[in-house]
Structure formats: C-alpha cells, structure tokens
Chain A
Amino acid sequence: MVATFLSNWSLASRQPIDKWSASTVVLCCFLLGPVAALLLTAFGDSGGLWTHLVDTVLGTYVVNTLALMGGVGVVAVLFGVSAAWVISRYDFTGRNILEWMLLLPAAIPAYIIAYCYTDFFEYAGPLQTALRTAFGWQTPRDYYFPEIRSLGGAMLVMASVLYPYIYMVTRIAFRLTPASLFEIALVHNKSQFWHVGLPLARPAIVAGLALVMMEVVSDFGTVEYFAVPTITLGIFNVWLGMNNLVAAAQISSVGFLFILGLLGLELYARSRQQYVSTSRTQNSPAALPTTPVGTLVCWLVCLVPLLFGFFIPLGVLLRFVLRGDLAADFLAIQPIVTNSVMVAIAAAIVIMLIASLIVLTAAFRAGPKLRKLALMSSTGYAFPGTILAIGVLIYAGYIDHGLRFLSGGMISSFLIASMGLLLLAYVVRFQAVGYGAMLSGVRRLPKNLMSASRVLGHGYVASLRQVILPLLKSSFLAGLMLVFVDIMKELPMTLLLRPFDFETLATYTYQFAKDEMLEQAALPALMIVLTGLIPVILMSAMLRRYR
C-alpha cells in the first residue's frame, strides 16, 4: 500500500519509486508533523469564544495585521528591489562595500530593533531632546512628533530589518538576467528595469516577500512592544488570558491558511509563465557607468535602508555598551557566544541539506503532487514561534510515546528535554528559508539541463554532482547564511524548548530586554549582530568569487 502511495507521488516523472522520492515524501511528512499537531488541536471545542472575539476585537486584529503586512511589504520591496537594482546594474564608487553591507540588517533581531527605536525616537530619546533644545520647546504639547510605538512605526522598523530577504534573492536574479535581454530593451527604447529586470525577477521577489510576510504574521516581540493589536497578539491573549489553547490554535490556523492562500494565488498567477534562463552560458550584463549625480542617487538608495535597518540600532546599542565595563561583560558572555554559534552552524547545515534534498527531488524527480508537498513542508514559518513550539512539543510527545511503546520502555525520552527537540523546531521553522533560497536557484535553471545530462549518459547522481549542484552553489551559500543568522536571533522557540541551563545570545538578551534593562541587554544583542556579520562578510566574498 505504501508502495502504491509512493508511486502515485512520483507518477509524473514516469519512473519507478526511487529512494529519492520516497525519502523526500517521508521527510516532508515528518516536517509537517508539528503543523498537523496544531491543526488537530484547532479541531477541539473552543467553548463559543469566537462569538465574543468577532463581537469585540477580531476586526481590529485582522485590519491591523493586513495593514502591517501591506505596509511592511511595500517598504521592504521598495528597499530591497531598488537596492538590488542599483547594486547589480550600476558601477559606482563604494558599490563593493555597500553590496554586502546591505545584508547587515538581517543580523538584527526585530525585538531588539524595537527597543532601540523606541529609545531613539521617544520623548526622552536623543532625537526629540535635540529638537527640543534646538527650538526651545518645553512639553510634549508644544510640538507634534510621530509616535514610534504605532502601526506606522512597526511598519518602518520591521521593513528595515526584513528587506534583506528580498534584496538577497533579487540581486542574484538581476545579476543572472542575460545581457541580451537588457540589450533588447535598449534597442526598443524601453525601460530596462520595468520591462526586463522586474518581470524576470518576479519569482525571486515573491520568494523573498513570502518570507517577509510570514515573519510579519508570526512576529510577537515587535507588535507587543509597540502595542499594535495584530492577530498574533490576539492569539496570546486568547491562549494565556482566557486559558483557551484551542481557540488560539484556531486563530493561528486561520492565519496560516491565509498565508497559504496568498502563496497559492501567486503560484497560480504565474503557472502559465516560464522563467528560464541559460544564465551560465550567456553573458551577464556589464554594470553601467554612473555620473556623479547618479552615484549620489545610488548611494541614497543604498544608505536609506541601511540607516534605518542598521546604523540607528547599532548606534543605540553601542551607546549602551560603551557605558559599561566592556572587558568584564564580554568575558561573562563568551561561553554563551560559543554555544549560540555552534548550535546555529549545526542547525543551519542540517537545514540546508534537507532543503536541498527536497528542492532537488521536487524539481527533477517528482510530479506536481510531491512539489506541492514540498512547498507545504516549508509552511511552519507562518506560525508565531511560540505557537509552533507548542506544535513541536505535542508532536514530539507523540513520537516519544510511540518510541517508548515500540521499544517496550527501553527508550523513555528521545526528543523531549534534549537538543533534538530544539533542532527539530529549527528545521520545521527555518526549512522555509533554505527552501526559498534553493528554489529560486533551481527555478532559474533551464528544465532541459538535467534531461540533456541524462541523455548524454550520466546517471541522476552524476548529473546533480557535475551539472546542477555547481550552478546552485551561490543559492546554497545564500540560504546557509540566512538560516544561520535566523537561528542566531531566534528567540521564542529556543526559550521554550531548550534543555536545562542552556543559554543562547537571544535568550540571554531577552531576560534583560523583557524588563527594558537595555544597558545589560545591549552587549549580548550587539554580539548577535557581530556574529551575524561574520557569515555575511564571508559568504558575500565567496559569492563574488563564484559569481
């Protein structure tokens, strides 16, 4: 029965069941476990809470969430695409430095940036104090200053740390667009950006945007601090305030299905289009020279996102760190730094291997059903971290229970209360990031590349090794870097699922930041940023070499 099931999945590839499809199906189903556990929980009885929610707060939650998604989406696309365009199309002074600097905001956790921004922009912050001194204002009633703890503030803050998801993939897409296509636009006197670059980069932009949207929907730290009542805030009120996990799981599931719907819509919209380029065999476009004014514009396009996403928060953190005893403080947290880095590296490698296997099998070995399953397996990202962690717990409880039963009590706890639980959670959540990176790489490969290699007598494995994988190297590295940075700053799941006496920089930062003790939180937060910088710099150097 299992065999027929499996052969159905790989039917479209007209091949017998092979270990590739089989292992991918098993892996995907395994990864979907926590999501399934949450959906199952949602089928429970919520005790008529929905009537109350619909009557009171649900409308506000939905409107705020949609507004936040829209706002963050627009700003992040604006930042990410415009920066990617000038970096990949124009040759200007400082371009090489800005190219990798633009990735830096990815290393700053959203919950830290929210604290930093409040500190900077609020009434007692340096900006307003300076304005008051300059203009002689006395009280808050003397002038108008936009409230940073608001919907608009949350949009700006989140977009300025999330745009690198879009920038990273879009930049690669622009660079891999064949020069000949830009030349056609030139010949026809059409805009290279609007008529060639943007349409061809659409899959990449959407892949990045999907991650941004999922981050927005699942964020708790920023919206809580800024007091913006979104669906996620509502989920926690229902769960912890009304002791109703079922209703919380139901709201999360609705949000989850909403994201799924958006993804499906985009997939449908471009289902009849083909995005193929034989990039490696064609010339990539040469960068265009710029005038001094042009250089200035390019700088502006790159520096605005950097200012909001990196320099302001970094400045605030540094101001706090420099007040303390740097050497002593650093010695105290050094073991935590090592711990965080080791865990993040290990998990990132595991995630990228899994993502590569799933993407490659889905692309070259399997039919549309498995492709859909593969896409599904990366949707854990759309749940708020803590809620997904609950799903992981319920699921791991089942697994351990099963193992205990099968082993006749020999194994009492395998996942529970061990590093395995945390690793599982990381894979379930961040598989989406690795999947997105690998998929946007595979999408740009011509479909016939694999077929050509097979026709020429190579086996599947040899074709992967000699033809496909070398072309995906940059995507793999990009994914590895994003996942590493994501895990370094991951907070809610690590907090809940970690073993005893286990600290990462994120959990260590949080116990101070929770009580707004920014001075103590600043150094570990800064270390998250700095350790995030290392892979950013390393990998962009490698990307440049392999480009």
Chain B
Amino acid sequence: MRHNSRAGVSEKMRVTGIENGFRNRLRNSFANSPVILRWLMAGCVAVCLWLPVQAFAAGTINIYSHRQQILIQPFLDEFTKATGIQTKVVYASKGLAQRLQAEGAASPADVILTVDIARLAEYANLDLLASVESAVLTANIPAHLRASDNRWFGLSERARIVVTSRDRVPADAIQRIEDLADAEWQQRICTRPGSHVYNRALMASLIAAHGAEAAQSWAEKLVANLARKPQGNDRAQAKAIFQGICDVAIMNSYYYGNMKFNDDAEQRSWADAIRLVFTNQADRGNHINISGGGVAKHSRNKQQAVAFLEFLTGEVAQQLYGTVNYEYPVNPAVAPPAELASWGPFKRDKLPIERLAELAPQAQMIIDRVGW
C-alpha cells in the first residue's frame, strides 16, 4: 500500500523543498507558503478592494421587495420605459425591515414593496417609512386600503376565498367563511398552516367581525374539520382537492389563475377540479389582503420613489397586476382584465386594512391555542 511510504513525511517535505521543480513547488505551495497571518492580511486587503462602493446614482431607484423579482420585473420594465428611471432590486421574504433598520440613515433603499399588510405595518411600526403627500395616490387608492398617515399604500387586492370540489360539493353549499366550522365538513377541509401570514390575516378579519372569543371558537371547529395536518401552500390545497384528499380549501384567488394558465398540464387539471366561492357576499363581503408599498424614510430619491408608487397605481401597472399574477386592481377607475372579470364581480370586506395588522398578534395567539 502507498501508506507504507508515508514514514517521515516532514523529512521528505524538507528534502523535496530543496529541489526546485515546478511540480514540487506546486505540491509544497501550501506547506511553504508565508505564514497564515500574512495570508489573512493579504486576504483582508483584497476583500476591501473588492467591496463595491454602493452607488446612489441619480436616475436609479433602489427597491427592497418581498415579492419575487420574476413577478415584479414586468412592472419595472414598464416603469423604466415610461420614465427612463432605472431600478435595482433586493428580494427577500423575511427580515428586510430589520435590514433597513440597521442601515439607518445610510440606507440605499428608496422604495419598499410587500405582499401583505402585516409586513407593511411592520415597517411603519419601526418608523422606517416616509409620509408621502401625493394627490395621485390619494385619488387612485380607496381610503381603507392606505395608511391614515400616508406612510403606506395598497397597490393590489388579493382575495382569500374558499374553493370547493366541482364533483363532490354542490355549488351553493358554502356561503360564508363561517360555514367552514359546520360539522358537515368534518374530515373534508384542507388548508396551509394557520401561522402563514395569509391565514393569520383571515383570522384577524374574523376577530374584527365577531370578537376574539367567537373567532377562536370558529378556529377550533375549523381545525376539527381538517382532513389532514395543515401543510403546503395554497396551490397544494387545490391539488389535494383534485386528488380527493379533501373537498374544501381556503386559497388566495390568484393561485387559481396561475394554475389555470400553467405550462404544466397537471396544474391545469387541479384548477379544473375546483370551484371558486367568494364568501360573505350577503353580509360584510369577502376578506381581502393587499400587496403594497411605501417610500423609505431615508430615501435620497423621494421624488422618483413617489413617482414609482404613482406609476404602480396607474392604468398600465394596475392592469399588469391582473395579467401577471391575477390580482385585483385597487384603483376603482381601472377595470380588471377580462379573465379576472370572468370569475365574477364580488363584494369586498371594507374593513380598514390596517386593522388586520393590529389584530395579527392576537390572531397568532388564537392559532397557537387551537393548533391550526
């Protein structure tokens, strides 16, 4: 075995070190290198040189986004085309508010985009958003979908609806979100985990409508009706209905569009298996959440940042929300694209959207208690 030749390695290293062949130098480069400490200093210098200086270029806005880059790119392209202003993006799902907070006044961020009200409120609570006076934004966005102090703005509406199996559930069997607590649905409901931000907001809307006690009692019965442990995302719930694991699920409406027009035939068949139910049409209306945005408090490009938000509430971008991701426009003057319109008009819950964020901690506690 080659191990036998291993004896006295250090002596061997010294002998070969005297020779001068390239191969030996290569082999010994690690052993004969200057001291680690010196390597380290050289490394530090190299790293410092490598650090790119962050440009605060005029004509460029920097965006912190909770929405994936692939989904906002069409908006950015349209914005640059219309205004000539360039955009740069960091996408992350968690912790961007803490990043902005740590950066403080040195932050390069101009605009924040989120996909739900809870994240928006987090920025507002940490005092990271600037108050924006814009007649365009006030005109384009209904009052209940923006902050009373003008620090954040709803940009699209996302309806959290109930979907039912086309084969196994009659068309009008479910009218209200409250119906999911009925014993009729025992072992027949699927949802994603309760702690997900969409379910938390739904829970908050029930607290707002009925008070904490009644909301918890609803949640307990819902959990008792579940066909399986809460898991997966909303799309996975439609899949479960298609597979016959359950008959009823809670889902954000845009998932339906995403599945219906998916490249993957399998997903199209999941969409075919479900029927959309807008809930509470006879009373307060269907629960909605928003994707939204605001201007960073320490932005150096406030004017252009506001222009970007205004662009997002205008005709072109509001249409894009519908075509790119099947979300509803917030701007009442913009009609939803034909596909969205074909799902039917529906009554929305007009609860001031910031109530959802205020009630979120209480909602999470209920979710913890009932084990959703």
List of B residues within 8 angstroms of A150 by Cβ: 229
Q: Is the CB of A19 within 8 A of B37?
A: yes
Q: 0/1 per residue, B185-220, Cβ < 8 Å to A?
A: 000000001010100100000000000000000000
Residues of chain A within 8 A of B263, CB atoms compared:
519
In the complex, what distance in Å separates the CA atom of A56 from the CA atom of B216? Answer: 14
Q: In the assembled complex, which residues on chain A have CB atoms less than 8 Å from the CB atom of B51?
A: 414, 418-420
Residues of B within 8 A of A467 (CB): 10
Per-residue CB proximity of A158-171 to B under 8 Å, as 1/0?
00000000000000
Stretch at the interface among A204-212, A251-259, A491-499: A491-499
B1 contacts A by Cβ under 8 Å: yes
Report which of A419, A461, A497 forms a contact with B50, defined as CB distance below 8 A: A419
- Indicate which residue in B48, B118, B258 contacts A240 across the interface (CB closer than 8 Å): B118
A498 and B89 CA atoms in complex are apart in Å by 10
CB of B364 closer than 8 Å to a CB of A: yes
Given contacts A501-B88, A516-B233, A519-B264, contact A417 B70 (CB under 8 A): no
Distance, CA A420 to CA B47, complexed state (A):
8
Q: With a CB–CB cut-off of 8 A, which chain A residues contact B129?
A: none
Contact B360 A241, beta carbon cutoff 8 Å: yes
Among B99-107, B284-292, B316-324, B344-352, the stretch that binds chain A is: B99-107
Q: Is B68 in contact with chain A by the CB < 8 A criterion? A: yes
Known: A242-B361, A469-B31. A353 touches B36 (CB 8 A): yes
Is B339 in contact with chain A by the CB < 8 A criterion?
A: no
Of the listed stretches B151-159, B175-183, B236-244, B329-337, chain A binds B236-244
Confirm or deny: A531 has a beta carbon within 8 angstroms of a beta carbon on chain B: no
**Considering the chains assembled together, what is the distance between the CA atoms of A284 and B356 in angstroms?**
67
Residue contact A243 to B360, C-beta cutoff 8 Å: yes
Q: Is the CB of A283 within 8 A of B3?
A: yes
Q: Which residue on chain B has the smallest CB distance to residue A237?
A: B195
| CB pair B195 A241 closer than 8 Å | yes
* A423 contacts the other chain (CB 8 A): yes
Contact (Cβ within 8 A) A416 B361:
no
With a cutoff of 8 Å between Cβ atoms, the chain B residues found around residue A93 in the complex are none
Interface of B, helix, strand, loop or mixed by DSSP: helix
Cα of A202 to Cα of B51 in the assembled complex, Å: 42
Q: Mark B98-129, 1 if CB is under 8 A from A, else 0.
A: 11011110111000000000100110010000
A357 at the interface (CB under 8 A from B): yes
Do A284 and B1 touch across chains, with their CB atoms under 8 A apart? yes
The answer on a CB contact under 8 Å between A284 and B231 is no
Partner of B69 from A57, A139, A464, A511 at Cβ < 8 Å: A511
A547 at interface by CB-CB < 8 Å: yes
1/0 per residue, CB under 8 A from B, across A346-375: the answer is 100110011011001000000000000000
Task: State the CA gap A413–B298 with chains docked (Å).
Answer: 14
B23 adjacent to chain A (CB < 8 Å): no
0/1 string, A66-85, CB within 8 A of B gives 1: 00000000000000000000
Pair B92/A495 contact, Cβ less than 8 Å: yes
Let me know if A470 and B9 touch, CB within 8 A: yes
Is residue A280 within 8 Å, beta carbon to beta carbon, of the partner chain?
Answer: yes
Bound CA span A53–B37, Å: 47
Instruction: Check A394 against B102 for contact (C-beta < 8 Å).
Output: yes
- Knowing A350-B47, A354-B40, the reply to whether A397 touches B103 (Cβ < 8 A) is yes
B123 CB, nearest partner CB in chain A, Å: 11
Is the pair B68, A470 in contact by a Cβ cutoff of 8 Å? Answer: no
Number of interface residues of A (CB under 8 A): 87
In contact, A240 and B8 (Cβ under 8 angstroms): no
CB–CB A501/B89 < 8 A: yes
Would you call B70 and A511 a contact (CB within 8 A)? yes
Interface string of A231-254 (1 = CB under 8 A from B): 001001100111111000000000
Known pairs A243-B361, A390-B98, A500-B89; A416 contacts B70 (CB<8 A): no
CA distance A281 to B13 in the complex (A): 14
Assess whether B364 is in contact with A237, with CB atoms less than 8 Å apart: yes
Most chain B beta-carbon contacts within 10 A, residue among A149, A227, A507: A227
Q: A495 and B93: CB pair below 8 A?
A: yes
- Distance of B237 from chain A, by nearest CB (Å): 11
Known: A149-B231, A284-B6. A417 touches B89 (CB 8 A): no
Residues of chain B lying within 8 A (CB to CB) of residue A465 = 31-33, 35
> B108 and A500: CB pair below 8 A?
yes
Mark each residue of chain A from 462 to 506: 1 if its CB lies under 8 Å from any CB of chain B, else 0.
001111011101001000000000000000100111111110000
CA distance A389 to B102 in the complex (A): 11
Taken together as a complex, chains A and B put the C-alpha atoms of A501 and B363 apart, in Å, by: 36
A-B pair number, CB within 8 angstroms: 207
Which residue of chain B has the shortest Cβ distance to A224 in the bound complex? B193
How does the 8 Å CB contact mask read for A396-424 relative to B, with 1 for contact and 0 for none? 11001100100000001110111110010
A414 to B48 CA separation, bound complex (whole angstroms): 9
Shortest CB distance B244–A (Å): 6
Question: Which residues on A sit within 8 Å (CB–CB) of B239?
Answer: 124
Interface size class of B (residues with CB under 8 A): 35 or more
| Contact B68–A514 (Cβ < 8 Å) | yes
Residue B143, interface by CB 8 Å: no
Nearest CB to that of A220 among chain B residues?
A: B94
A241 touches B200 (CB 8 A): yes
Could you say which of B14, B32, B54 contacts A418, with CB atoms under 8 Å apart? Answer: B54
**B-contact bits for A110-136, CB 8 A (1 contact / 0 none):** 000000000000011000000000000
In contact, B37 and A500 (Cβ under 8 angstroms): no
B173 to chain A, nearest CB (A): 21
Within 8 Å CB of A414, what residues of B? 51
Give the residue of B7, B93, B98 whose beta carbon is less than 8 angstroms from that of A393: B98
Contacts of B121 in A (CB 8 A): 243
CB pair B92–A56 under 8 Å, yes or no, is no
Residues on the A chain within 8 Å of B108, using CB: 413, 417, 500
What is the minimal beta-carbon distance from B7 to any residue of chain A, in angstroms? 6
Q: Which residue of the partner chain, among A140, A397, A492, contacts B245 with CB atoms under 8 Å? A: A140
Does A226 sit at the interface, judged by CB under 8 A? Answer: yes
Whether A23 contacts B264 in the complex (CB less than 8 A), given A245-B98, A495-B93, comes out as no
Instruction: Pick the contact of B30: A147, A390, A473 (CB < 8 A).
Output: A473
Within 8 Å CB of A416, what residues of B?
102-103, 106-107
Please, which residue of chain A has its CB at the minimum distance from the CB of B104?
A397
* B96 adjacent to chain A (CB < 8 Å): yes
For A56, list chain B residues within 8 Å (CB).
365, 368-369
List A516-540 residues whose CB lies under 8 Å from chain B: 516, 519
Decide: B231 and A386 in contact? CB cutoff 8 A: no
- Nearest residue (CB) in A for B30 is A473
Cβ-based interface call for B275 (8 A): no
Question: Which residues on B sit within 8 Å (CB–CB) of A240?
Answer: 94, 118, 122, 197
Can you show 11 pairs from A to B with CB atoms below 8 A apart?
A53-B368, A149-B232, A227-B229, A241-B200, A241-B360, A286-B1, A357-B36, A357-B37, A464-B35, A499-B52, A515-B68
Q: Which residues of A contact B (CB under 8 A)?
A: 19-20, 23, 52-53, 56-57, 60, 123-124, 139-140, 147, 149-150, 225-227, 233, 236-237, 240-245, 280-281, 283-284, 286-287, 346, 349-350, 353-354, 356-357, 360, 386, 389-390, 393-394, 396-397, 400-401, 404, 412-414, 416-420, 423, 461, 464-467, 469-471, 473, 476, 492, 495-502, 507, 511-512, 514-516, 519, 547
User: B residues touching A (Cβ–Cβ < 8 Å)?
Assistant: 1-4, 6-10, 13-14, 30-33, 35-37, 39-40, 43, 47-48, 50-54, 62, 68-70, 88-96, 98-99, 101-104, 106-108, 118, 121-122, 125, 193, 195, 197, 200, 228-233, 235-236, 239, 243-245, 258, 263-264, 266, 360-361, 363-365, 367-369, 371
Given contacts A350-B47, A470-B31, list 9 more A-B pairs with CB under 8 A.
A226-B231, A243-B118, A346-B50, A393-B103, A394-B98, A420-B51, A500-B89, A514-B93, A547-B2
The 9 A-B pairs with the shortest beta carbon distances in the complex, nearest first, are A397-B102, A241-B364, A500-B88, A393-B102, A511-B68, A413-B106, A227-B231, A284-B3, A242-B361
